[in-house]
């Protein structure tokens, strides 16, 4: 095993190599052909997108939250609801390239790792973000404190849209 760098180096290693990346709160290990990403829980009730960026970028929740606030993503009511464009900008800030967000309705249509918007509420148009791990046995990493760390119950996660991670360097 080789050690990768934080941020994009970890992500690139995660997607295509046999690397161990450890920045204290983020660890990606290839074990028996399966990549494991350490879950980071959201610390705010509306911070699921922040936690997903932290998982992928190899940063702490606090580090990503600080940048999100500096970028003006915190509303006057102190909530941190995020849209795909904001998540892409945060990931770009940390050196992680993404592809354009796209609408997606079926988990089987996803062919990359990325951040997925799930369980859109018709009443207010809001949704929840999870990290989707593509592979032989795909699963979602849910940052919600009360959720199981590794979810395969895709029938309960109604997919709305998806932000794929690109392996092209910035």
Digit-coded pLDDT (tens) for 11-24 = 444 443 333 333 33
Q: What is the pTM of this model?
A: 0.77
Residue corresponding to tokens 């028996």: 32
Instruction: Please state which CATH number belongs to domain 2-164.
Output: 3.90.70
DSSP state of 101: P
β-partners of residue 29 are 36
Digit-coded pLDDT (tens) for 111-137 = 899 999 999 888 887 899 999 998 889
Per the structure block, which two tokens stand in for 163?
A: 């932000």
- Spans of all domains in the chain: 2-164
Q: Is 79 exposed, middle or buried (0-12, 13-18, 19+ CB in 10 A)?
A: middle
């Amino acid at each position: 095993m080789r050690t990768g760098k934080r941020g994009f180096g970890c992500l690139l290693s995660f997607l295509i190599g046999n690397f161990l990346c450890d920045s204290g709160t983020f660890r990606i290990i290839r074990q028996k052909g399966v990549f494991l990403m350490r879950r980071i829980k959201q610390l705010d009730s509306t911070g699921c997108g922040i936690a997903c960026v932290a998982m992928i970028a190899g940063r702490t929740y606090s580090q990503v939250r600080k940048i999100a606030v500096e970028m003006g993503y915190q509303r006057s009511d102190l909530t941190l609801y995020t849209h795909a464009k904001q998540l892409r900008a945060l990931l770009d800030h940390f050196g992680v390239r993404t592809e354009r967000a796209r609408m997606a309705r079926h988990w089987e249509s996803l062919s990359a790792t990325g951040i997925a918007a799930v369980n859109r509420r018709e009443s207010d148009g809001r949704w929840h973000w999870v990290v989707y791990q593509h592979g032989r046995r795909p699963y979602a990493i849910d940052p919600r404190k009360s959720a199981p760390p590794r979810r395969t119950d895709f029938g309960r996660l109604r997919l709305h849209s998806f932000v794929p991670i690109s392996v092209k360097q910035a």
